[in-house]
Amino acid sequence: MTDESIEPILDPDLLICDAHHHLWDRPTSRYLSDEFRADLSSGHRIASTVYVDCVSMYRRDGPQALRPLGETEFADKAAKQFAFNHDNPKICAGIVGFADLNAGHAVGEVLDAHLGLTHRFKGIRHCAAWDRSEQIHNAHTHPFEHMLADTVFRQGFAELDRRGLSFDAWVFHPQIPEVTDLARAFPNTCIVLDHLGGPLGIGPYADDRSGVFSEWRRHIAALSTCPNVVVKLGGIQMPLNGWDFHKETPRPDSRRIATATRDYYLCAIDAFGTERCMFESNYPADKPSASYRSLWNAFKRLTAEFSSAERAAMFHDNAVRVYRLA
């Protein structure tokens, strides 16, 4: 991968909790602790990170429902490997795993098993990202239309509140009202909206950027009225968002990223307030589109006019609070 020109680190003393990243070893992509360590050493002051499920290192045998426990074990092991040196960032300080909420009340057994593995387990993500267009790649969990409203799914969802666990919601922007309905039905469960609610920019949405933004903004405004919802700022540099950053050689610098995506970030912050927003790298999913250095520089550019306290909240404190990091 060709890198953009190395740009200086902006605000190098700003403390950061990377609220969303993955680790995986796939046939066409390897991103494990060594690769992550290299990105973390780019110069930003990363204090801790939150690992989020990506079907990585599931158990290969045993009951199907319990196989996702392998990912929690894997992330916890990575955390311990970094923890030997107190100067290292606390990677995987929080772990968001997977449990199939479509199992209804029976999912409680799986959640308890996750909790029994490590104190770092904080919640689950059961991806619901679905679109009727065949040009859109739906989530790896094979969701069905209106899954978040399904009775059995909600029986499983109710098990989260009983254990004080959070829920990461990965949907596409037309589905944001379904997250709003879910949040209102379960006001005591913390719901984290991933990747700014997945504004789509490919397939049938490719030629309607203004229409997508208008619809997304309306949905975000309604969702923000739910006090139990927080939003992750990031994850919109992927190919599905339509910016085509991944096609550029070299990759775009922080100024270009910030200029192109500014409206989404600032609109979400305005709707939710700085106390309910947290920045995420979504690495390595966003890696083809932006270096770790440039991505965090872009976030810093976007928030240059905010106060020190507001930036501290969005870059670090909110993630630590929401995910209850030690």
Per the CB < 8 A criterion, the answer to whether 45 and 14 are in contact is yes
Please give the DSSP secondary-structure letter assigned to residue 21: E
pTM recorded for the entire structure = 0.96
Domain membership flag for residue 2: no
Other CB atoms within 10 A of residue 200 CB: 22
Domain membership flag for residue 282: yes
Alpha carbons 326 and 320: distance in angstroms, whole number: 8
For 141-199, how does the pLDDT look when each residue is reduced to its tens digit (9 = 90+)? 999 999 999 999 999 999 999 999 999 999 999 999 999 999 999 999 999 999 999 99
Domain membership flag for residue 289: yes
Instruction: Quote the pLDDT of residue 3.
Output: 53
Instruction: Quote the pLDDT of residue 2.
Output: 43
Instruction: Quote the pLDDT of residue 43.
Output: 96
Per the CB < 8 A criterion, the answer to whether 219 and 180 are in contact is yes
Per residue of the chain (326 residues), what is the pLDDT tens digit?
445 558 999 999 999 999 999 999 999 999 999 999 999 999 999 999 999 999 999 999 999 999 999 999 999 999 999 877 767 899 999 999 999 999 999 999 999 999 999 999 999 999 999 999 999 999 999 999 999 999 999 999 999 999 999 999 999 999 999 999 999 999 999 999 999 999 999 999 999 999 999 999 999 999 999 999 999 999 999 999 999 999 999 999 999 999 999 999 999 999 999 999 999 999 999 999 999 999 999 999 999 999 999 999 999 999 999 999 96
Instruction: Quote the pLDDT of residue 5.
Output: 59
Instruction: Quote the pLDDT of residue 4.
Output: 54
Alpha carbons 238 and 281: distance in angstroms, whole number: 11
Domain membership flag for residue 128: yes
> 56: domain range?
15-322
The CATH number that applies at residue 231 is 3.20.20.140
Domain membership flag for residue 102: yes
Domain membership flag for residue 4: no
Per the CB < 8 A criterion, the answer to whether 72 and 79 are in contact is no
Alpha carbons 124 and 301: distance in angstroms, whole number: 31
Domain membership flag for residue 81: yes
- Picking from 188, 184, 198, the residue whose alpha carbon sits closest to that of residue 231 is 198
The total number of structural domains in the chain stands at 1
Domain membership flag for residue 266: yes
